[in-house]
Amino acid sequence: MTATVELRARPSATDVADIVAALTKDYGARAVTTAAILEQHGHGEGLADTALPDVVVFPHTNEEVAAIVRLAHLTRVPVIAFGVGTSLEGHVAALYGGVCLDLSQMNRVLEVSAADLDCRVQAGVTREQLNAELKGTGLFFPIDPGANATIGGMASTRASGTNAVRYGTMRENVLGLTVVTADGQIVKTGGRARKSSAGYDLTRLFVGSEGTLGIITEIGLRLYGIPESILAAVCQFPDLKSAVDTVIVAMQMGIPVARIELLDDVQMDACIKYSKLEGLASKPTLFFEFHGTEAGAREQSELMQAITDGHGGSAFEWAEKPEDRTRLWKARHAAYYAAMALAPGKQGFATDACVPISRLADCVLETKADADASGLIAPIVGHVGDGNFHLVVLFDPNDPLERAKAEDLAKRVSLRAIAMGGTCTGEHGIGVHKLDALVAEHGAAVELMKSIKRALDPRNILNPGKTVPP
């Protein structure tokens, strides 16, 4: 248990020149070193801290990915997998330079099997693209992080979204993977069978490993039938506590709500302005969606209205037409951008606490008080049905004191969630920003994670410096 991950430095200039030359020879215009492209690949969303790769390459096949990784493995040059760069915790920053493997051109839906309710896609397919290609099959893929991320990136960060309370996260919805290992071999994990007891669960080990254990190139996914009936509604509350208590009671009763989203007064104010939502006040608000048969969805919504009534909630505002529903959820998905628009010129990042539902009220209310006391602009939005919520913390990038204050607030959010039996990250992952919180959360298990990293990537070339502390 003393194994540590091999410490890294940037590769030597000679090694970089060699690998750039080799990649240029093999991939021509698909190996790029221009400043603008390097800059674009040096950061994700969230904190703008940038660390440039030495070269960006755009592979098209599993075999090309394997060949590139073999090359890097030979010379111990870092390899960082990149989808569309929407991750929030600095996952794609090339801390030690190296090769950025941009998988966005591996964007084919390889197979859709309606009878099995599954599909297989390349890593660069985005979630919106997948659902567009599923049109007409009567099926959909529910996981919907705010950004239009790639499926590969979503698998790598174990992403979730507004539907997780009903459909689970990427953990539950990835059936199998094709992965290129650190030494450039192509392995397949899982399969199309719905369950397997054969061997260790490598599928779930790679899901959420943030490109540090292997490069995910193909993903088998579960799909779902589009529900016969979808009802969406909005309910506003006099105070935050009433809204959160509503959620807790609904979960306790086991109402199979498909989406239940909390927006605090500040976030509602931001969304009303940014997405031009009409007829709603800047008050703590819940967005609901009910899926099922006609009778089932209606019954769920009636049960929910009874609970909100008991907590001082307003009458439901229904979004009955599909376009109204789309507008509502677009507004929700744009919450991060709406929050950023509250203070132009400021930067922001999102916290990602997730706690057991029995601690949700304590955690949200303490966090709200903490945010208010900090004097920072920090709206709350979250998938509260599964105990996950975000604080979008804004700060002035030119004011180091304000940035420090923002980072302190975020740290307190993580530690508060951990102290309540929860996690510092429900869906965004660790990246570079939550390494300390990971240790606080997992203690001895972090040593095991390091051992696993060392076992699967002994040369520490895969996304070095992320996910597990050195």
Partner 1 sequence: MLDATFHAELATILPPAALLTAAEDTKPYECDGLTLFRETPAAVLLPENEAQVVAILKLCHAARMPVVARGAGTSLSGGALPNAQGVVLSLAKFRKILAIDPLARTAVVQPGVRNQAISEATAPYGLYYAPDPSSQIACSIGGNVAENAGGVHCLKYGLTVHNVCRVRGVLITGETVEFGGDSLDSAGYDLLALITGSEGLLAVITEITVRLLPKPRYAQAALVAFDDLERAGAAVGAIIGAGIIPAGMEMMDQPAIRAVEQFVHANYPLDAQAILLVESDGTPEEVAAEMADIQRLMTDAGATEIRLSKDEAQRVLFWSGRKAAFSAMGRISPDYYCIDGTIPRAALPRVLRAIEGWSAEYGLECANVFHAGDGNLHPLILFDANRAGEIEKTIAFGDRILALCIEVGGTVTGEHGVGVEKLNAMCGQFNSAELIRFHAIKNAFDAHGLLNPGKAVPSLARCAEFGRVHVTRGELRHPDLPRF
Residue choice 113, 305, 314, 374 for contact with partner 1 (CB under 8 A): 113
Interacting positions 30-59 with partner 1 (CB under 8 A): none
| Shortest distance in whole angstroms from residue 205 CB to partner 1 | 6
Contact range with partner 1 by CB under 8 A, out of 68-76, 141-149, 253-261, 273-281 = 253-261
| Shortest distance in whole angstroms from residue 24 CB to partner 1 | 29
Rounded to 5°, the CA angle 9-216-39 comes to 50
Confirm or reject binding of residue 370 to partner 1 (CB under 8 A). no
| Shortest distance in whole angstroms from residue 99 CB to partner 1 | 22
Residue with tokens 């794609």: 92
Site string for partner 1, 410-449 (x = CB under 8 A): -------x---xxxxxxx-xx---x--xx--xxxxxx-xx
| Shortest distance in whole angstroms from residue 145 CB to partner 1 | 13
| Shortest distance in whole angstroms from residue 83 CB to partner 1 | 20
Interacting positions 375-394 with partner 1 (CB under 8 A): 386-388
Contact range with partner 1 by CB under 8 A, out of 23-31, 101-109, 222-230, 236-244 = 222-230
Compare residues 10 and 171 and give the one whose CB is closer to partner 1. Answer: 171
Interacting positions 285-314 with partner 1 (CB under 8 A): 292-296, 299
Confirm or reject binding of residue 230 to partner 1 (CB under 8 A). no
Interacting positions 179-218 with partner 1 (CB under 8 A): 181, 185-189, 191-202, 204-205, 207-209, 213
| Shortest distance in whole angstroms from residue 406 CB to partner 1 | 20
Compare residues 187 and 306 and give the one whose CB is closer to partner 1. Answer: 187
| Shortest distance in whole angstroms from residue 64 CB to partner 1 | 18
Compare residues 16 and 355 and give the one whose CB is closer to partner 1. Answer: 355
Size of site (CB under 8 A) for partner 1: 95
| Shortest distance in whole angstroms from residue 216 CB to partner 1 | 14
Residue choice 86, 104, 150, 160 for contact with partner 1 (CB under 8 A): 160
Confirm or reject binding of residue 455 to partner 1 (CB under 8 A). yes
Q: Which residues contact 22 (CB under 8 A, 6 or more apart)?
A: 71
Compare residues 115 and 373 and give the one whose CB is closer to partner 1. Answer: 115
Compare residues 35 and 198 and give the one whose CB is closer to partner 1. Answer: 198
